[in-house]
């Protein structure tokens, strides 16, 4: 599909590099050339370090010939996201905040640090919405990331640049962060595999408040075209780190889990998590897809979770819970000389500023009551997982939306005649950031032969291996690699 490395899995590239059948320099230069040719029409990358990547590839090539031990990602080109994701000296605009266009913190995020330690070569940063506070990918500095299946549509967010880059064959692995579905949402719209690990599985570095990523649970994770590539990445990324007070000390081989049988598994299926409106075309596609597990020897049982609150109550809850960390970010930036809500207030979408004002008026009692609602959802999901190994749902309630021209693309305002919040209300993902369960979005087919649909697979807390086993089983039985031909054939001229 247009060059020899563009759609090769990371597992295969890593094997070829180890055997010296190809060199890291060949791979990196080839994919850098592909990025430079295709990114202007896609807008997935917002920063590219060609020289640094080639130098790192030369070092990786020399190490292959030295006989030294190689990490599991040795020589593999990857990208990190432009949000709370850092590599020293690289720009960090926190999702296209214009005032931060030249902000370059001298720190690593855990994903970048561990990926490089495993031998990966980080080639650049990918697009994200402002502060990651929506399920689409657009901002006032860089504009929207276009969906490689249909350039008029959005990639989804907040890890939209990463998902689009992977689907378009620009690299095999890209980083996402997920506080409400930001890995799984763009994975669904861009037809790739997105994995949100159990909370604590991959360490997350937040300062000055080391506890700041728990409300809701926020994680880093991989977006890939194959389940095995995500497992390879998770093997390199997970494990205890004392800098994260929630980090768990539990080493596993998730690549091995991808070969496990799911025979005998009990799988709960919810078409709507009780309260979410879902486009009938998506509901039909996921209903057909989940039945695939029965052919593999699993039992699939439709369930009701018992959620009594409306989807609008729940999406408002998610928005409120994210306000304390956002308000502290603004205060910290102001203390360091950047008054984002003063002279730079126009850098932020109206919807975001409205939620900041709501958050500013909240009391400690308000926050505590919101956490009680979150606990209510946790208990309902806990009861399901006490009986079933997995819970399967649609990832999203709608198909990709059109890109806006003003830097402020949002999701739909209604689905099936029911009003939803345009920022997150059409996503069946954020409940699992309330709870910390591992969750993946797997490609479940194409609607009308053009738009990808995601199926969400949720495991018991810290049973990530079950999610990988089921996801890999589904990919073997319902392979989706051929869908990327639509991306490979897309126009690459400037739009």
For residue 81, the model assigns a pLDDT of: 98
182 noted as active-site residue? yes
For residue 161, the model assigns a pLDDT of: 98
* Residue 490 pLDDT exceeds 90: yes
The string of pLDDT tens digits covering residues 5-28 is: 999 999 999 999 999 999 999 999
Quick one: what percent of the chain has pLDDT higher than 70?
99
158 noted as active-site residue? yes
The string of pLDDT tens digits covering residues 174-190 is: 999 999 999 999 999 99
Q: What is the mean pLDDT of residues 230-238?
A: 98
Candidate list 6, 23, 81, 159, residue with the active-site label: 81
* Residue 1 pLDDT exceeds 50: no
Candidate list 158, 159, 162, 441, residue with the active-site label: 158
For residue 301, the model assigns a pLDDT of: 98
The closest alpha carbon to 393, from 363, 358, 359, 437, belongs to 437
* Residue 385 pLDDT exceeds 60: yes
User: 494 pLDDT band (50/70/90 cuts)?
Assistant: low
Distance CA 35, CA 171 (A): 9
Distance CA 125, CA 121 (A): 12
* Residue 249 pLDDT exceeds 90: yes
For residue 51, the model assigns a pLDDT of: 98
User: 307 pLDDT band (50/70/90 cuts)?
Assistant: very high
Cβ atoms within 10 Å, residue 430: 26
Candidate list 182, 188, 198, 315, residue with the active-site label: 182
Task: Please state, rounded to an integer, the average pLDDT across all residues of the chain.
Answer: 97
The string of pLDDT tens digits covering residues 402-438 is: 999 999 999 999 999 999 999 999 999 999 999 999 9
* Residue 358 pLDDT exceeds 50: yes
């Amino acid at each position: 599909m247009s060059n020899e490395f563009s759609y090769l899995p990371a597992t295969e590239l890593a094997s070829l590099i180890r055997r010296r059948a190809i060199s890291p320099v060949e791979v990196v230069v080839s994919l850098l050339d592909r990025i430079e040719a295709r990114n202007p029409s896609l807008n997935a990358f917002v920063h590219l370090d060609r020289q640094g990547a080639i130098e790192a590839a030369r070092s990786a090539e020399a190490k292959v010939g030295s006989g030294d031990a190689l990490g599991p990602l040795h020589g593999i080109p990857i990208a990190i996201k432009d949000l709370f994701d850092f590599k020293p000296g690289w720009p960090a605009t926190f999702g296209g905040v214009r005032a931060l266009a030249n902000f370059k913190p001298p720190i690593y995020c855990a994903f970048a640090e561990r990926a490089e330690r495993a031998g990966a070569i980080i080639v650049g940063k990918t697009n994200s919405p402002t502060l990651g506070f929506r399920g689409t990918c657009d901002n006032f500095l860089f504009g929207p990331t276009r969906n490689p299946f249909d350039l008029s549509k959005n990639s989804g967010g907040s890890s939209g640049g990463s998902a689009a880059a992977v689907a378009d064959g620009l690299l095999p692995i890209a980083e996402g962060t997920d506080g409400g579905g930001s890995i799984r949402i763009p994975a669904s719209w861009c037809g790739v595999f997105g994995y949100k690990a159990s909370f604590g599985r991959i360490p997350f570095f937040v300062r000055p408040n080391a506890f700041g990523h728990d409300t809701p649970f926020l994680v880093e994770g991989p977006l890939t075209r194959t389940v095995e590539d995500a497992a390879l990445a998770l093997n390199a990324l997970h494990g205890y780190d004392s800098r994260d007070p929630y980090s768990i000390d539990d080493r596993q081989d998730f690549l091995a889990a991808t070969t496990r049988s799911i025979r005998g598994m009990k799988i709960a299926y919810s078409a709507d998590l009780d309260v979410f409106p879902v486009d009938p075309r998506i509901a039909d596609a996921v209903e057909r897809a989940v039945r695939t597990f029965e052919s593999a020897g699993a039992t699939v049982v439709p369930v009701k979770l018992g959620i009594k609150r409306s989807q609008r109550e729940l999406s408002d809850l998610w928005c409120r819970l994210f306000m304390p960390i956002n308000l502290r970010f603004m205060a910290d930036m102001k203390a360091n000389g950047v008054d984002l809500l003063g002279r730079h207030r126009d850098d932020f979408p109206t919807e975001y500023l409205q939620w900041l004002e709501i958050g500013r008026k909240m009391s400690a009692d308000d926050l505590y009551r919101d956490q009680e609602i979150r606990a209510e959802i946790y208990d309902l999901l806990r009861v399901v997982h006490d009986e079933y190994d997995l819970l399967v749902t649609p990832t999203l309630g709608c198909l990709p939306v059109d890109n806006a021209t003003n830097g402020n693309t949002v999701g739909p305002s209604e689905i099936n005649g029911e009003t939803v919040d345009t920022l997150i209300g059409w996503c069946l993902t954020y409940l699992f950031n309330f709870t910390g369960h591992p969750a993946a979005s797997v490609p479940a087919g194409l609607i009308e032969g053009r738009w990808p649909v995601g199926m969400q697979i949720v495991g018991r807390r810290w049973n990530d291996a079950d999610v990988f086993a089921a996801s890999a089983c589904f990919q073997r039985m319902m392979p989706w690699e051929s869908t990327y031909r639509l991306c490979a054939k897309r126009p690459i001229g400037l739009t």
